[in-house]
Amino acid sequence: MKIATWNINSVRLRINLAARFLREHAPDVLCLQETKVANDLFPTAAFNQAGYVHQAINGQKGYHGVAILSRLPFKTTAVEDFCREGQARHISVVFENGVELHDFYVPAGADIPDPELNPKFAHKLDFLRAMARFFEKRKGGRDRPVVLVGDLNVAPLENDVWSHKQLLDVVSHTPVETELLSGAKAAFEGIDVTRQFVPYTAKIYSWWSYRAADWEASDRGRRLDHIWVSPALKSAVASQSIVRKMRGWAKASDHVPVIAELKI
């Protein structure tokens, strides 16, 4: 079961890139974030044509939005309310093989890392706390096969950013964010798939800012996109990859896909 997650930064603008990615990498499931489209305008037909006929969509006009596109059928779909602003930032499905998949788009939090001065940062912290509460209530189901993916908008580890020291006061890598994400991960009992294969001493990123004149030369990235699995799936994880080359595609998103393959 090959699962990919990607903040596409407008699915209609980048539908051709999505089609190319699906042709080249052929995941069974593609989870998108920041689709930026209401449900009735989602490019359903393009994904149907590519073979991804099972679609769970939680969209919003012009902003946010998540979607799960699959070649495998769903038994159920659901949306949980993690977001105090009512934004479309979560969707989940259960597949016929029993795997439960959650797709998240955590708020970015704007630029000022102070919840008193920045309501968007306060919103982000509330969202991360809500994630932890949700999974804390579900604890005890270690045998349940669950996958959590998405743009979590936090680079939690020192080598998930180009400079730990310089980014400690920058939103996405502040101690309060990394601690809250760690709390959500502990509540989920999650295993970080990327770091199962990439040593903690190695730098690895999934996002590079549009502000960089040459993203590849400067390589000032952050690992904001994640795949976690529950303990029941730890031994099933066969491989992971981050498709770095896609940041160099014409009209690219500032994020690139992260892929995990599970032997189920």
Phi, psi dihedral angles at 54 (to 5 degrees)? -100, 115
List, in sequence order, every residue forming a beta bridge with 239; answer none if it has no partner: 261
Residue pair 258/29 in contact by the 8 Å Cβ criterion: no
Task: Return the pLDDT at 161.
Answer: 98
Average pLDDT over residues 67-86: 95
DSSP 105: E
Q: Residues 78-130: pLDDT tens digits?
A: 999 899 899 999 999 999 999 999 999 999 999 999 999 999 999 999 999 99
pTM higher than 0.85: yes
CA pair distance 59, 11, nearest whole angstrom: 11
- Is the model's pLDDT at 170 over the cut of 90? yes
pLDDT at 96: 96
Across the range 173-185, mean pLDDT stands at 98
Q: What does the pLDDT read at residue 255?
A: 98
- All residues at 6 or more sequence positions from 203 whose CB lies less than 8 Å from its CB, including other chains: 159, 160, 161, 162
**Is the model's pLDDT at 164 over the cut of 90?**
yes
For the cut 70, the answer to whether the pLDDT of residue 142 exceeds it is no
Domains and CATH numbers, the chain: 2-262 (3.60.10.10)
* The pLDDT value given to residue 140: 62
In the chain, the percentage of residues whose pLDDT exceeds 70 is 99
Average pLDDT, the chain: 97
- d(C-alpha 235, C-alpha 216), whole Å: 34
Asked if pLDDT for residue 139 goes beyond 90, the answer is no
134 DSSP 8-state letter? H
In this structure, what token pair is assigned to residue 95? 């597949």
What pLDDT, in 10s, does the model give residues 7-61? 999 999 999 999 999 999 999 999 999 999 999 999 999 999 999 999 999 999 9
CA atoms of 32 and 123, how far apart (whole Å): 21
